[in-house]
Amino acid sequence: MFTNFPLWPERASSTAGNVDALFIFLLIVSGMMTLLIFTAIVYFAARYRHRKGVLAEQIEGSTPLEITWSIIPLGVFMVIFAWGAVVYFNGRTPPRDSTEVYVVAKQWMWKLEHSEGQREINELHVPVGRDVKLIMTSQDVIHSFFVPAFRIKQDVLPGRYTVAWFKAIKPGTYHLFCAEYCGTQHSGMIGSIVVMEPAQYEAWMSGGSTGPLSATGEKIFAELGCATCHRSDTQGRGPSLQGVFGRPVLLQDGRTVTADENYIRESILDPGAKVVNGFKPVMPTFQGLVSEEQVNALVAYVKSMAQPGPAGPKTAMAAPSAAPGKQ
Name the residues that contact ligand CUA, by CB under 6 A. Answer: 105, 108, 143, 178, 180-182, 186, 189
Q: How far is the CB of 108 from ligand CUA (least distance, A)?
A: 6
Name the residue type at position 204: W
List alpha helices for the chain, DSSP H: 16-47, 63-92, 198-205, 213-223, 226-229, 261-269, 292-304, 313-322
Q: How far is the CB of 193 from ligand CUA (least distance, A)?
A: 16
Q: How far is the CB of 113 from ligand CUA (least distance, A)?
A: 18
Q: What is the DSSP letter of 289?
A: T
Q: How far is the CB of 154 from ligand CUA (least distance, A)?
A: 13
When the beta carbons of 137 and 304 are compared against ligand CUA, the nearer one is 137
Q: How far is the CB of 224 from ligand CUA (least distance, A)?
A: 30
When the beta carbons of 170 and 186 are compared against ligand CUA, the nearer one is 186
Q: How far is the CB of 142 from ligand CUA (least distance, A)?
A: 8
When the beta carbons of 143 and 265 are compared against ligand CUA, the nearer one is 143
Q: How far is the CB of 198 from ligand CUA (least distance, A)?
A: 31
Q: How far is the CB of 189 from ligand CUA (least distance, A)?
A: 4
Burial 142-168 (b: 16+ CB within 10 A, else e): ebbbbbbbbbbebbbbeeebbbbbbbb
Instruction: List % helix, strand, coil for the chain (3-state, nearest 5).
Output: 40, 20, 40
Do the Cβ atoms of 121 and 147 come closer than 8 Å? no
**Could you tell me the CA-to-CA distances from 229 to 68, 139, 225, 238 in Å, in that order?**
68, 28, 8, 5
When the beta carbons of 105 and 297 are compared against ligand CUA, the nearer one is 105
**Could you tell me the CA-to-CA distances from 11 to 14, 21, 169, 173, 246 in Å, in that order?**
8, 11, 8, 12, 33
Do the Cβ atoms of 298 and 223 come closer than 8 Å? no
**DSSP labels, 203-254:** HHHTSSB-S-HHHHHHHHHHHTTHHHHS-TTS-SSS---TT-TTSEEEBTTS
Exposed/middle/buried for residue 16 (C-beta within 10 Å: 0-12, 13-18, 19+): buried
When the beta carbons of 138 and 232 are compared against ligand CUA, the nearer one is 138
When the beta carbons of 136 and 196 are compared against ligand CUA, the nearer one is 136
When the beta carbons of 108 and 263 are compared against ligand CUA, the nearer one is 108
When the beta carbons of 178 and 276 are compared against ligand CUA, the nearer one is 178
